[in-house]
DNA sequence: GAGCACTGC
């Protein structure tokens, strides 16, 4: 393709504020290297008024906006390339319009004919919703009709849907039910550079689907051909293709694939997709000047503080975005900045400090989107959440200390930890790009240019740094038995795969031959849960306490529901007391969920009592109920967002259980039965108290301690099961329930030697 | 007596 000019670059010749010239903290920064980049999907725009006249104007405005996008000048070429290639790699920089426009081009070119769909995956739920909404608006249709989206808990599509935006995890789910993705003519994997675990699994899977649909379509044209050769890892699906559903399969057309990425790291993608062609689409991003420090900073927090005031006192208006590693760091920086800002002289503009991180309650998160008052500069203290997940308007200055808190995972021990590590080059570029969304901006990297060149190019893909039990279960469910030979773009370590297979085997999900067991493994793979929780649901159905386990796995699947701000710790602990069970955290969580649901029901009933005839009054009643629940949450120091999510999950899992023909039953007050069920479910995570008072995890033999946030902290139970093993200063277990040590060999005899619970009967290594 | 980046089904 005569393609498409290179992406717009940063300025090469800017003179930096640091360059030595008269700054209060001068001499800190060297000259710019002129880089700029980064970006995310198209943002949400305001819906226009519904007045006919305004609507006409709106349509014209939309058309103008679409035509102005860099991608629209190459529509014809792009469509031809898609037609010509089975797989096409599209590199589109920020603001190119690829996410909203390319699917519309494909729609116009006839890829949705004959009831077929174009599917577009996104790593995040919000992106799927906002982009689908925008595209529907541009096409002048209602969301959910021709253009729809599908995310967990919300399917906004219909029989007439032709462009379907969805989370990557959702497409994986769909592939379980329809292994050939027979309703799709083309799949677009967007934001492929983010390399989420779902995206990476999809890569391998879709390559397989392409192969089989190719085979099916040529088989149907060249008439008879025997079942495809077996012997490769996909033989199960191939035989499925050969035996079942024959008429439909014969008609199937080949599957096209478009992989869209924001980085220039095309080589890896093209090689992986069998030498696929790549095209570049120019972006539209303002230049961002990059500054480095001349020497390494001993204390990056101090350097960040000084740089903030340097910008504040010397630079033109525009808000500042400072990247920090976590909540604690943000809170202390907030205090420091506020303290220093209070000493600013009267004739200097004010500084407004706003924190944002995922655990912050939503009302407080919203503050970053409010414009600062006249004559005030806003400084936003953010975690990685501001890197991709949300775009904050008004940012012209980015301060990047070059560090990030990332999850690490030791496959040998199964221990997870969070560690502060240097960012990758791609991440640093993504961060600096945040300064050039609306106007030219500046990015101050609190490290030397030499150090930048030594950073790794891209972040290690998620699939290489987390627990793979779920992924392996899904692959087995797809009929891929040879998981070690699966076509990963970046293969996880062998030990990591083997360990997760052992884990699945211990749970009974795999047979001695390593195949998915039926019905246990098959059922487990259907649940949108960690394998251990999926198994727990199945066991609890046999043990008569599935209602309690349903509440437990729902609560275990969300972020901590207890919200304890540092300054109100005592109050929060007191509030928690009313929910506590002496048996442990699991039953405590069940109590929280039950109280919440009861409160919500009462609030709903109270609202219903005063129900009037007008919809207005019922809306008010809803608002009242909502308010009551929210104040109940804050009075009890409970994170409302987490609990709402737990309720959603509970509802969804209940549906799955019932769909399998299993019964949800409660054991009532018989918590002994429920604790036995917890022991039977979580036997892989058991720990026993040693003579010296420490605890020993039975499966790995490592020494662990009960986390102080557990209700069993300081209670010295003899034997416990737990759900989380996290390493910080030492190894802590969290979410714990007391069990009788004799239950373990009784309920998990295949794992624990019958004579006792000193050690498991296998897996000693 | 400690501390939890961010997503997703």
- Within a domain: A166: yes
Residue A412 domain-assigned (yes or no): yes
Nucleotide nearest to A196 (CA to C1'): B7
User: Which residue's CA lies closest to nucleotide B5 at its C1' atom?
Assistant: A405
Residue nearest to nucleotide B9 (CA to C1'): A528
- Whether residue A481 is contained in a domain is answered as no
Q: Answer yes or no: are the C-beta atoms of A735 and A762 closer than 8 Å.
A: no
Rounded Cα distance between A640 and A658, Å, is 27
Reported confidence tier of residue A36, pLDDT bands at 50, 70, 90: very low
What confidence score (pLDDT) does residue A140 get?
94
Closest residue to B2 measured CA to C1′ = A708
A 10 A CB-CB count for A751 gives 19
Domain identity same for A82 and A207: yes
> Which tokens belong to A245?
């559903």
Least confident stretch, A127-136, A570-579, A714-723 = A570-579
Q: Residue A627's pLDDT band (boundaries 50, 70, 90)?
A: confident
User: Who wins on pLDDT, A363 or A6?
Assistant: A363
pLDDT of residue A330: 92
- The confidence score (pLDDT) of residue A216 equals 82
Is residue A3 pLDDT above 50, yes or no?
Answer: no
- DSSP conformation class of A74: G
Neighbours of A508 (CB within 10 A): 15
A505 within domain boundaries: no
CATH of residue A324's domain is 3.40.50.300
Higher pLDDT, A365 or A538: A538
- The pLDDT value recorded for residue A38 is 34
Last residue in a domain, options A236, A265, A281 = A281
pLDDT recorded at residue A21: 31
Q: Is A115 a residue whose pLDDT tops 60?
A: yes
Give me the CATH number covering residue A599.
Answer: 1.20.120.1080
A307 lies in the same domain as A222: no
Nucleotide closest to residue A474 (CA–C1'): B9
Is the pLDDT confidence value at A663 over 50? yes
The Å distance, CA of A709 to C1' of B2, is 7
pLDDT digits (tens, 9 = 90+) for A257-286: 999 998 767 888 999 999 999 999 988 889
- The pLDDT, as a whole number, for residue A733 is 92
Residue A112 in tokens: 């949705």
pLDDT given at position A708: 87
Rounded to an integer, the average pLDDT of A346-372 is: 87
Q: Say whether pLDDT at A438 is over 80.
A: yes
SS3 A588: helix
Q: In a 3-state reduction of DSSP, which class is residue A18?
A: coil
- Calculate ∠ Cα A252-A257-A259, nearest 5°: 165
Q: Is residue A447 part of a domain?
A: yes
Q: Which residue is nearest to nucleotide B3 (CA to C1')?
A: A328
pLDDT in tens, A218-236: 765 554 444 444 334 444 4
What is the spatial distance between Cα A196 and Cα A206, in angstroms, rounded to a whole number?
A: 15
**Averaged over A679-696, what is the pLDDT?**
93
pLDDT at A659 (0 to 100): 94
Would you state the torsion angle of the CA atoms of residues A129, A131, A134, A139, taken in this order, to the nearest 10 degrees? -110
- Residues A253 and A389 both lie in one domain: no
Q: Are A257 and A189 in contact (CB under 8 A)?
A: yes
Q: Is A472 helix (H, G, I), strand (E, B) or coil?
A: helix
In this structure, the answer to whether residues A580 and A633 fall within a common structural domain is: yes
Separation of alpha carbons A432 and A214, rounded Å? 43
The tokens describing A210, both together, are 């392409």
The mean pLDDT of A347-367, rounded to a whole number, is 87
Strand B, nucleotides < 7 Å from a protein CB: these are: 1-9
pLDDT-wise least confident of A9-18, A115-124, A160-169, A350-359: A9-18
Mapped onto helix, strand or coil, the DSSP state of residue A134 is helix
Residue A762 scores a pLDDT above 80: no
Quickly state the pLDDT bin for A39 (edges 50, 70, 90). Answer: very low
pLDDT score at A53: 65
Among residues A726, A723, A716, the alpha carbon closest in space to that of A689 is found at A716
Residue A327 has pLDDT above 80, yes or no: yes
Residue A188 has pLDDT above 90, yes or no: yes
* Stretch among A15-29, A195-209, A224-238 having the lowest mean pLDDT: A15-29
Residue A697, domain member (yes or no):
yes
Dist. CA A16–CA A29, nearest whole Å: 8
Average pLDDT over residues A101-120: 95
* A575 and A603 belong to one structural domain: yes
In a domain, A39, yes or no: no
Distance A129 CA to B5 C1' (A): 24
Distance CA(A408)–CA(A720), nearest Å, equals 25
Nearest nucleotide to A128, CA against C1' atoms:
B8
Task: Kindly write down the DSSP assignment for every residue of A201-254, as one continuous string.
Answer: HHHHHHHHHHHHHHHHHHHHHS---PSPP--STTHHHHHHHHHSSHHHHHHPPP
A574 and A609, same domain (yes or no): yes
Distance between the alpha carbon (CA) of A584 and the C1' atom of B1, Å: 18
Give the integer Cα–Cα distance in Å for A145 and A110. Answer: 17
Average pLDDT over residues A107-119: 94
Per-residue pLDDT at A588: 94
Residue A298: band (very low, low, confident or very high) from pLDDT cuts 50, 70, 90: confident
Rounded mean pLDDT of A548-577? Answer: 85
- Banded model confidence at residue A630, pLDDT cuts 50, 70, 90: confident
The domain tally of chain A equals 4
Q: Is the pLDDT of residue A554 over 90?
A: yes
Residue with nearest Cα to nucleotide B1 C1': A708
Give the residue-averaged pLDDT of A557-585.
84
Give percent of chain A with pLDDT exceeding 90.
Answer: 57
Separation of A388 CA and B9 C1' (Å)? 21
- What's residue A238's pLDDT? 42
Residue A47 pLDDT class (50, 70, 90 cuts): very low
- Give the pLDDT confidence score for residue A17 in this predicted structure: 36
Are A270 and A300 in a shared domain? no
Residues A617 and A729 both lie in one domain: no
**A245 and A338 share one domain:** no
The nucleotide minimizing the C1' distance to residue A558's CA is B8
Does a structural domain hold residue A500?
no
Instruction: Give me the pLDDT at residue A12, please.
Output: 30
Enclosing domain of residue A638: 527-669
Q: In the listed set A623, A641, A669, which residue is the last one of a domain according to the structure? A: A669
| pLDDT score recorded for residue A609 | 64
Residue A292, SS3 per DSSP: strand
Residues A576 and A595 in one domain: yes
- pLDDT number for residue A362: 77
State the pLDDT at residue A364. 82
Query: Are A569 and A710 in a shared domain?
Result: no
- Measuring from the CA of residue A533 to each C1' atom, give the nucleotide at the shortest distance: B9
In terms of domains, do A384 and A247 share one? no
| % chain A with pLDDT above 70 | 85
Q: How far is the CA of A1 from the C1' of B6 (A)?
A: 37
Neighbouring C-beta atoms of residue A37, cutoff 10 Å: 24
Q: How does the average pLDDT of chain A come out, rounded?
A: 84
A532 neighbors A507 (Cβ within 8 angstroms): yes
* Choice among A291-300, A568-577, A664-673, A686-695 with the minimum mean pLDDT: A568-577
Residue A485 pLDDT > 80, yes or no?
Answer: yes
Nucleotide nearest to A124 (CA to C1'): B7
């Amino acid at each position: 393709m005569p393609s498409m000019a290179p992406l717009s670059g940063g300025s090469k010749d800017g003179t930096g504020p640091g360059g030595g010239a008269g700054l209060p903290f001068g001499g800190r920064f060297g000259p710019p290297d002129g880089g700029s980049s980064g970006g995310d999907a198209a943002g949400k725009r305001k819906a226009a008024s519904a007045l006919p006249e305004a609507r006409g104007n709106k349509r014209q405005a939309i058309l103008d906006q679409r035509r102005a996008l860099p991608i629209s000048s190459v529509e014809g070429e792009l469509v031809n390339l898609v037609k010509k290639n089975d797989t096409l790699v599209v590199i589109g920089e920020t603001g190119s319009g690829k996410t909203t426009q390319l699917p519309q081009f494909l729609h116009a070119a006839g890829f949705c004919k004959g009831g077929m769909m174009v599917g577009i995956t996104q790593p995040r739920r919000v992106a799927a919703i906002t982009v689908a909404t925008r595209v529907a608006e541009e096409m002048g249709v209602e969301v959910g009709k021709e253009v729809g989206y599908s995310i967990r808990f919300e399917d906004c599509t219909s029989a007439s849907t032709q462009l379907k935006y969805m989370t990557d995890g959702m497409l994986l789910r769909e592939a379980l039910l329809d292994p050939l993705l027979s309703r799709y003519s083309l799949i677009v994997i967007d934001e492929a550079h983010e390399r989420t675990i779902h995206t990476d699994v999809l890569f391998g899977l879709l390559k397989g689907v392409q192969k089989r649909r190719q085979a099916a379509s040529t088989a149907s044209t060249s008439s008879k051909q025997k079942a495809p050769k077996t012997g490769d890892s996909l033989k199960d699906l191939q035989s499925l293709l050969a035996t079942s559903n024959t008429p439909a399969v014969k008609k199937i057309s080949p599957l096209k694939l478009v992989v869209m990425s924001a980085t220039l790291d095309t080589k890896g993608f093209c090689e992986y997709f069998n030498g696929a062609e790549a095209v570049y689409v120019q972006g539209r991003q303002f230049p961002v000047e990059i500054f480095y420090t001349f020497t390494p900073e001993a204390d990056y927090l101090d350097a960040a503080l000084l740089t903030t005031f340097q910008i504040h006192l010397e630079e033109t208006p525009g808000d500042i975005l400072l990247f920090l590693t976590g909540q604690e760091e943000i809170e202390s920086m907030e205090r420091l900045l506020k303290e220093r800002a209070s000493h600013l002289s009267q004739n200097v503009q004010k500084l407004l400090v706003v924190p944002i991180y995922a655990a912050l309650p939503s009302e407080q998160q919203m503050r970053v989107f409010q414009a600062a008052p006249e004559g005030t500069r806003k400084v936003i203290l953010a975690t990685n959440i501001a890197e991709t997940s949300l775009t904050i308007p008004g940012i012209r200055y980015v301060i990047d200390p070059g560090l990030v808190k990332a999850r690490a995972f030791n496959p040998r021990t199964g221990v997870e930890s969070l560690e502060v590590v240097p960012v990758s080059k791609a991440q640093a570029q993504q961060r600096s790009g945040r300064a050039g969304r609306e106007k030219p901006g500046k990015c101050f990297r609190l490290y030397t240019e030499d150090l930048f060149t030594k950073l790794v190019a891209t972040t290690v893909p998620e699939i290489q740094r987390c627990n793979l039990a779920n992924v392996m279960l899904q692959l087995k469910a797809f009929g891929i038995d040879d998981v070690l030979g699966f076509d990963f773009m970046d293969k996880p370590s062998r030990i990591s795969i083997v360990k997760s297979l052992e884990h699945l085997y211990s749970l009974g999900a795999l047979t001695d031959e390593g195949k998915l067991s039926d019905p246990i493994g098959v059922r487990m793979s259907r649940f949108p849960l960690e394998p251990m929780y999926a198994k727990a649901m199945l066991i609890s159905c046999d043990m008569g306490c599935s209602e309690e386990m349903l509440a437990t796995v729902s609560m275990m699947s969300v972020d901590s529901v207890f919200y304890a701000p540092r300054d109100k710790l005592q109050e929060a602990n007191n509030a928690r007391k009313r929910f506590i069970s002496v048996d442990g955290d699991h039953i405590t969580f069940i109590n929280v969920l039950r109280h919440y649901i009861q409160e919500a029901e009462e609030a709903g009933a109270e609202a219903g009592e005063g129900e009037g005839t007008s919809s207005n009054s019922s809306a008010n009643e809803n608002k009242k109920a909502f308010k009551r629940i929210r104040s109940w949450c804050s009075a009890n120091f409970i994170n409302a967002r987490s609990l709402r999510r737990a309720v959603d999950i509970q509802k969804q899992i209940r549906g799955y259980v019932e769909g399998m023909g299993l019964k949800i039953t409660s054991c009532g007050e018989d918590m002994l039965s429920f604790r036995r069920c917890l022991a039977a479910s979580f036997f892989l995570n058991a720990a026993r108290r040693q003579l010296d008072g420490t605890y020993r995890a039975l499966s790995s033999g490592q020494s662990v301690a009960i986390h102080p946030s557990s209700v069993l902290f300081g209670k010295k139970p003899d034997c416990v099961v737990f759900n989380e093993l996290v390493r910080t200063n030492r190894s802590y277990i969290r979410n714990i329930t007391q069990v009788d040590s004799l239950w373990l060999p009784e309920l998990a005899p295949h794992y624990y030697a019958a004579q006792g619970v000193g050690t498991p009967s296998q897996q000693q290594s």
